[in-house]
Amino acid sequence: MTDGQRVVLAPDKFKGSLSAPEVAAALATGIHRRAPGADVRCVPVADGGDGMIDAFAAAGWQRVEVDAPGPTGEASSAVYAVRGDTAVVELAAAVGLVKLPGRRLDPLRASTFGLGVVVAHALDAGAREIVLGLGGSASTDGGAGLLRALGLRLLDPDGRELDVAAMDVATMLAQVGSVDRGGLHPAVARARFTLACDVDNPLLGPAGAVAVYAPQKGADPRMMGKLEAGLANWASVLGTGYAEVGGAGAAGGTGFGALAVLGAEVRSGIDVLLELLEFPTLVNGAALVVTGEGSLDHQSMHGKAPVGVAAAAKAARVPVVAAVGRTMLSPGEIRAAGFAACYPLSDLEPDSARSIIGAAGLLERIGERIAKEHL
């Protein structure tokens, strides 16, 4: 390649192994060994779940730390990213599964209240564009906690405020008779909310928040029945039409609450991220784009980060390759997704445990191979 030609590294995290910035750094090391003159730009990405703040911080956005209760109310802190009047808030960083004390699942107590505390902080600081990254949620509260933290009052059928501290999430949702929006944070009406997520589930039913995601949050069949009934009542109060929107079921129904009360718009997480990071401008004229994630499989085809990056590269007429932990796709499916080639770490280290432990070194070797074959 000609010295100075640009290579854009835009991988997602390798879950359980390396963060997206770490993946990009390892690939960059390998590429520079083979092509020391390459102008390598690291642009780690995420699709709306955990890792979004890391991606924006790597791009130079300001990290803001705020005290906010964790998913089960314990004292904790969270971070969000800000530039100008735009704030990116990651649900997982505030009330996600990773924030549960001792990682102990608590499906009937976990809520999104702490997320609302973070959003309120961003609004108080002057943010008027709020991007909510939905993913990695520990709760199934329909966004009720988020909205309560922003000033929404939950009332029983007689108009009395619910004593939410005395009941679990499912019971609370089931007992809501109406809501009072009068105390909502005054900046809510002036702000624009975008939900960045990679799922299109509705709130209720066999493809909804409870049926699909509650088991991984620790809910057994009895709990799932209570949560589904609670969400059904919550939907009847805020508007059943919102419950049917794709993405309403994201993050335990947080999407629904944000749609119904905050007037939010649902968008693909990776599309939002690439737009805010001005990725089309960065990739324009590049010699190569490298993306990837831990597992490139059929689920990746539905809004995951690498496919979004591939689409953006294709639009700029720049070739793109994938460096992944493993792939479950055939060569034809890989090409159809827009990749010129795919480089799984499993080709170098078939033992998955060893691959996870040694991912950084393996990615450096992959980087060398990519430079050799494509630059």
Task: Kindly state the tokens that stand for 254.
Answer: 């947080």
In the prediction, which pLDDT does 4 show?
61
- Nearest CA-CA partner of 252 in 80, 65, 115, 155: 115
Residues paired with 137 in a beta bridge:
96
Look up residue 119 and give its amino acid: V
Look up residue 336 and give its amino acid: A
How far apart (Å, rounded) are the C-alpha atoms in residues 85 and 364? 38
Task: Kindly state the tokens that stand for 4.
Answer: 């100075």
Q: Is the dihedral of CA 271, 276, 281, 284 positive or negative?
A: negative
DSSP strands (E only) in the chain: 6-11, 39-42, 62-67, 77-83, 86-90, 129-133, 153-155, 178-180, 192-197, 265-268, 288-292, 295-296, 320-324, 326-327, 341-344
Q: 6-45+278-374 and 52-270 share one CATH topology?
A: no
Task: Kindly state the tokens that stand for 51.
Answer: 């890792």
How far apart (Å, rounded) are the C-alpha atoms in residues 286 and 300? 24
Q: Give the CATH fold of the 6-45+278-374 domain.
A: Rossmann fold (3.40.50)
In the prediction, which pLDDT does 297 show?
83
In the prediction, which pLDDT does 255 show?
97
Tell me the three state secondary structure of residue 137: strand
- Nearest CA-CA partner of 343 in 372, 367, 307, 315: 367
Look up residue 57 and give its amino acid: A
Contacts of residue 94, Cβ cutoff 8 Å, sequence gap at least 6: 68, 70, 78, 114, 115, 117, 118
The ranges of the chain with pLDDT < 70 are 1-4, 302-303
Phi, psi of 108 (to 5 degrees): -95, -10
Of how many residues is the chain composed?
Answer: 375
Look up residue 341 and give its amino acid: A
**Whether the Cβ atoms of residue 112 and residue 91 lie closer than 8 Å to each other:** yes
How far apart (Å, rounded) are the C-alpha atoms in residues 305 and 249? 20
Architecture of domain 52-270: Alpha-Beta Complex (3.90)
In the prediction, which pLDDT does 302 show?
67
Look up residue 343 and give its amino acid: Y
Parse the chain into domains and list their residue ranges.
6-45+278-374, 52-270
CB-count burial class (<10 Å; 0-12, 13-18, 19+) for 229: middle
